Amino acid sequence: MRPIRLGMLTPSSNTALEPITCAMLAGIDDVSAHFSRFKVTEIALSEAALRQFDASEILRAAELLAHAKVDVIAWNGTSASWLGFDRDERLCEQITAATGIKACTTVLAYRDLLRRIGAKRIGLVTPYRKDVQARIIANWNSEGLNCFAERHLSLQDNFSFAEVSEAEVAKLIEEVVRAGCDAAVVLCTNMRGAGAAERLERCYGVPVLDSIAVTLWACLLATGYDPSRIRGWGSLFTNPDLRAAAATLIDAKDKGQS
């Protein structure tokens, strides 16, 4: 049987998600990750910044991934958090229509996962500006994802997000956990939260869900691959309760449910 190939759409200025994804897959010989980029250089609510996520640009990158005969195409980014969850729902439909390949996204995976684990008080950590953060919180709350506590770094340049150290990201996670959240979310695929997840979960007993890890998790589910083979990156992959949520999600998708 040939290895599973995961296709991921990547913001052009992102320097974190590719090496971290490959690190999570280290030692997994039957899964490989493949990346296609499109232009994203800043995160803001200006017309120019929002135009970066026009579907036509994303679809061109998806069509290039299809040349590699990948088994799934993921939008490895969080833009639907401020643009609206419906944007990613339509994008998945468009990718599959254009390529014939199943699609998933970071934001839709978060929605499915957080609902299924019953998170009531989400701690939201991002690098974004205050206005972007406010838009995210409003959109997430409208989906029943209660953002109970938040921290943000007020950055706009997408490249700069990956320059924030893992230690600083971990400090922000600790702050929202101490505020009383029952799940911590690092919402950005150019931020270094995945490596701290397992240690922080051992310390505080609260799931730490990083965007890069959640996207990989969603890709593995979409291909029917057992996420628990990924070790050392937190409970998302290994916790029996989260594996049960994953199994429910796979079953629902197989039946064509949302």
CATH number of the domain enclosing 92: 3.40.50.12500
Domain with residue 175: its CATH number is: 3.40.50.1860
Residue 66 lies in a domain: yes
| Residue 48 domain-assigned (yes or no) | yes
Mean residue pLDDT across the chain: 93
**Which uninterrupted H or E stretch holds 233?**
none
Please tell me whether residues 205 and 229 are part of one structural domain: no
Tokens of 8: 């991921």
Could you give the maximum distance between any two Cα atoms of the chain, in Å? 48
User: 201 and 162 in one domain?
Assistant: yes
State how many domains the chain has: 2
In whole angstroms, what is the distance from residue 78 CA to residue 210 CA?
Answer: 11
pLDDT at 76 over 80: yes
Same domain, 46 and 58: yes
* Residue 52 lies in domain: 4-108+212-234
pTM here is 0.93
Instruction: Give the pLDDT of residue 257.
Output: 42
**Does residue 35 surpass a pLDDT of 50?**
yes
DSSP E strands in the chain: the ranges are 4-11, 31-38, 72-75, 103-105, 122-126, 147-152, 183-186, 208-210
Does a structural domain hold residue 243? no
Residue 2's pLDDT is 81
Same domain, 137 and 162: yes
Quick one: pLDDT at residue 238? 87
pLDDT mean over 167-185: 97
Distance CA 104, CA 29 (A): 23
Map residue 89 onto helix, strand or coil. helix
- pLDDT tens string 133-174: 999 999 999 999 999 999 999 999 999 999 999 999 999 999
